[in-house]
Amino acid sequence: MKIHNFNAGPSVLPKEVVKKSAQSIINFNGSGLSLLEISHRSIDFLEIIEKATFLIKRIMNLNDDYAILFLQGGATLQFSMVPYNLMNQEASYLDTGFWAHNAIKEAKKFGKVKVLFSGKNKNYTYISTNYHIPCDMDYFHCTSNNTIVGTQMKIFPRTSIPIVCDMSSDIFSRKLDFCQFGLIYASAQKNVSSAGMTIVIVKKNILGTIRKNIPSYMDYKIHIQNNSILNTPNVFSIYTSMLTLKWIENQGGLSFLEKNNQKKAKLLYDEIDQNNLFENKIHQENRSNMNVTFFLKEKNLEKEFNKMWKKENIVGLDGHRYLGGYRASIYNALPLESVQFLIEIMKEFERKFS
């Protein structure tokens, strides 16, 4: 049975990655042991971390100035780990959505936060580029893709201070100059792997300037010294991420995925724009290529539309509980045919009800 999985996260993963990671739980690399039964300090596991690190650097074109970490605590822990390691006095943030807002809330516990732009009073439907980053800030924090409302930063500002970016919902989806960032973090459950692991990519020379004691687990430098195995890591999630990174390269890397993601998103936005029954509320230039949100113009048709897509084995199309409406998350592993299928359903709905 074909299921079209539009879940926002945890979400669709490449079939071959799911299959291989499932096999590894029964018998890892023909060893007769499960991946879940081997030591995180064994040669076999160290090879996995090494391979995943190597692949991230190659895919993102990063040199050894950057360290790659595989941590726990989700992106949520990064909301405090970032200021713990980088904030002496004051940092600047963009308030572009629910998660960005949470990042700001946590950072305020560590020092002063200057919010350079907030989209809150416009329901986060656009992201301004019209702000100035003072150069005396400790860092600048932004969220590249706002998973709930469906906006995406298409350009990043130029600044002399470190740019910290939450890429949880669009990492590995497009080509960027990743060297412009001082620190990137992404929790795993969308384009990378199973939940329970966060990738942190940090330029080593931005660390070590902080004038306070940092608890060991919260200290990036200690994780770098310990090669992400300060404590027992999420072995399964790291293995699955390594498989996904291999899949990304086999697909043709970020250039291919970017083109494919643009194609899927354009098809869907075009349909929403021309369909009489639906609308998208995001400013054109900020529409996300990962999370496409849309609403019925007439709310009373909701029951009928829900009945229709649910009957067709489409899952995960409900909008976020704060927002309502619909959200099609079309991450890297979601096939083009699923987008085409959803469009057919929307067309059929229009034929029946408009």
Annotated binding site for pyridoxal 5'-phosphate: 75-76, 99, 147, 166, 189, 231-232
Residue 80 binds to ligand PMP (criterion: CB under 6 A): no
Q: State the CB neighbour count (10 A cutoff) for residue 47.
A: 12
- Of 80 and 128, the one with the shorter C-beta distance to ligand PMP is 80
112 is catalytic: no
Residue 10 binds to ligand PMP (criterion: CB under 6 A): no
- DSSP characters over 113-133: EEEEEE-GGGTT---------
Nearest to 138 by CA among 168, 176, 107: 107
Q: Are 46 and 168 in contact (CB under 8 A)?
A: no
| CB of 274 vs ligand PMP, minimal distance in Å | 29
* Cis ω for the linkage preceding 215 (within 30 of 0): no
DSSP code for 327 = E
| CB of 113 vs ligand PMP, minimal distance in Å | 17
* Cis ω for the linkage preceding 10 (within 30 of 0): yes
Residue 74 binds to ligand PMP (criterion: CB under 6 A): yes
Q: Are 255 and 175 in contact (CB under 8 A)?
A: yes
Phi-psi region of 23 (alpha: psi -120 to 50; beta: other; left: phi over 0): alpha
Q: Which of 95, 138, 166, 219 is catalytic?
A: 166
One residue of 72, 76, 80, 227 binding ligand PMP per CB under 6 A: 76
One residue of 99, 220, 239, 305 binding ligand PMP per CB under 6 A: 99
Residue 143 binds to ligand PMP (criterion: CB under 6 A): yes
- In the window 163-182, what residues touch ligand PMP (CB under 6 A)? 166, 168-169
Residue written as tokens 């305020």?
A: 108
Question: Residue ranges for the binding site?
Answer: 41, 75-76, 99, 147, 166, 189, 231-232
Residue 95 binds to ligand PMP (criterion: CB under 6 A): no
93: helix, coil or strand?
Answer: strand
One residue of 11, 147, 244, 288 binding ligand PMP per CB under 6 A: 147
Q: Which of 95, 170, 190, 264 is catalytic?
A: 190
- At residue 220, φ and ψ (nearest 5 deg) are -55, -40
Q: Which stretch binds ligand PMP (CB under 6 A): 48-56, 69-77, 104-112, 202-210?
A: 69-77
190 is catalytic: yes
Comparing every residue's Cβ against ligand PMP, the nearest one is 74
DSSP code for 230 = S
* Tally of CA atoms within 13 A in the half-sphere of 199 that contains its CB: 33
Question: Residue ranges for the binding site for L-glutamate?
Answer: 41
| CB of 74 vs ligand PMP, minimal distance in Å | 3
| CB of 75 vs ligand PMP, minimal distance in Å | 3
Q: State the CB neighbour count (10 A cutoff) for residue 284.
A: 9
- Of 170 and 258, the one with the shorter C-beta distance to ligand PMP is 170
- The DSSP bridge pattern shows strands 151-152 and 145-146 to be antiparallel
Residue 127 binds to ligand PMP (criterion: CB under 6 A): no
| CB of 315 vs ligand PMP, minimal distance in Å | 17
One residue of 6, 7, 9, 93 binding ligand PMP per CB under 6 A: 9
| CB of 169 vs ligand PMP, minimal distance in Å | 4
Kindly give, in sequence order, each residue whose CB lies less than 8 Å from that of residue 156, ignoring residues fewer than 6 positions away.
142, 144, 163, 165, 176, 180, 181
166 is catalytic: yes
Q: Are 343 and 269 in contact (CB under 8 A)?
A: no
> Distance of alpha carbon 80 from its chain centroid, rounded?
18
One residue of 187, 228, 288, 329 binding ligand PMP per CB under 6 A: 187
Q: What angle do CA 44, 48, 53 make, to 5 degrees?
A: 150
Residues that bind ligand PMP (CB under 6 A): 9, 74-76, 99, 143, 147, 166, 168-169, 187
Which residues are part of the catalytic machinery?
Answer: 99, 166, 190
